[in-house]
Amino acid sequence: MLLRVTLILILLGIYMPCKAQFFPPVKQKTVVTGIGLFHELDFDNSYLLTLDLAREYKLRTWFTLGGEANVFKFTSPHYSTAGLSIRPVTRLFFYSGKKVDIFGETKGGVIFMLPQYPHRMINFTFTANIGADWYFNEKMAIRFAGGYTHFSNGKEYADLQNPTWDGLGTSIALVRTIP
């Protein structure tokens, strides 16, 4: 009986067209260029500046997947001066309209920090933001986002085994849709 049901389902699957696809062809490709400023939670004069360049693919009206490269600049002497990061980006859209998109996003990856503390050169980073894209026209938008950033093992401080950098901040970016 189970064999017959399985064969019937297979035959029906072959002859019935199926329009659902897990990852349909790319609907929209964008290039994002942005800058961010984050303040460390535990210290008054510790800031992080970021320059970001990303390529994103809007796979569904509610989901974007992409990759991002970042240059980081720390202001505190407990950290290396600068860092370079490559990380994936995922974005879920809570509202997607003609002029405004509201989203939540996560980013996580590896950061290479130089030059002061070479024994802490490779670290991990995670960012969670909530933001919005405002469209000027079909091809251009400005993105505002705010959220939390974390660096694992990010600083040289006493004898701590895994001193972290945790901060809140904001970013602004130009979003260009490309063919």
Residues 6+ apart with CB under 8 A from 177: 28, 29, 30, 138, 139, 140, 141
User: Could you tell me the residue range of the domain that residue 57 belongs to?
Assistant: 28-178
Contact 103, 173 (CB under 8 A): no
Count of domains for the chain: 1
Q: Domain for residue 82, yes or no?
A: yes
Q: Domain for residue 83, yes or no?
A: yes
pLDDT on residue 116:
62
> Which tens digit of pLDDT belongs to each residue from 4-42?
656 665 555 555 454 445 555 567 899 999 999 999 888
CATH of the domain at 94: 2.40.160.20
Judged on CB neighbours under 10 Å (0-12, 13-18, 19+), 16 is: exposed
Q: Domain for residue 22, yes or no?
A: no
SS3 161: coil
pLDDT on residue 69:
95
Low-confidence residues of the chain: pLDDT under 50: 16, 18-20
pLDDT on residue 117:
61
pLDDT on residue 6:
61
Q: Domain for residue 2, yes or no?
A: no
Q: Domain for residue 158, yes or no?
A: yes
Q: Domain for residue 15, yes or no?
A: no
CA gap 128, 30 in Å, rounded = 20
